[in-house]
Homo-oligomer: A and B are copies of this chain.
Amino acid sequence: MAESLAINGIDDSPRGRLLSAAAHLFRDKGFDRTTVRDIAAAVGIQSGSIFHHFKTKEDILYAVMEEVIHFNTARLQQAVASEATAAGKLRALIRAELQSIVGDTAEAMTVMVTEWRCLSEDKQRKALALRSIYEQLWLDSLSELHQQGVMKTDPFILRRLLTGMIGWTPNWFDREGPVSLDDLADIMLARVIGEAP
């Protein structure tokens, strides 16, 4: 999965193609409005055959989220590891999450946010547990800067503001436009460490 950088961070097996198609459809039409037949048609099989790979439609949604969490947690860990300074780490985190959310794993990430509610409570808990490593990387980085006195605002709140800013990006960002993802990462970083606005 991680080694073949396929779309949505999913490998090119039959199961992987199914997940990719599902992620795409879930983002476009939403989980509830995507039928099992839609997904089957998108990968060229019959609807009944889906259930050889997943027990329920909801399991497909969960698997999409699981894959994208694993993939992006690994990406965040690499991002943090590759930087020496606290500010550098934070910028790398922002850049990496932007990449996740408007780049290669855009569909699956969007699905994770918008279709979260379609997960049963049980699966929500399981997915949250997977997410915790991911979130801890952010809090560690922000806490370090806070302790260094770089900013005064509570790291928890700042993470929430960043989540909002980054999460909303796919709704407006234009990859062909004048502002690059690197520019945008800098702009967002400035909202936190407060360089001249």
Contact = CB atoms under 8 A, between A and B. Distances in A.
A45 interface: no
A153 B196 contact: no
B157 A179 contact: yes
Interface in A142-180: 150-154, 157, 160-161, 163-169, 171-172, 179
Q: How large is the interface on A (under 10, 10 to 19, 20 to 34, 35 or more residues)?
A: 35 or more
A193 interface: yes
Given A30-B32, A192-B197, A197-B150, A168 B157 contact: no
A125 interface: no
A1 to B, nearest CB: 28
A55 interface: no
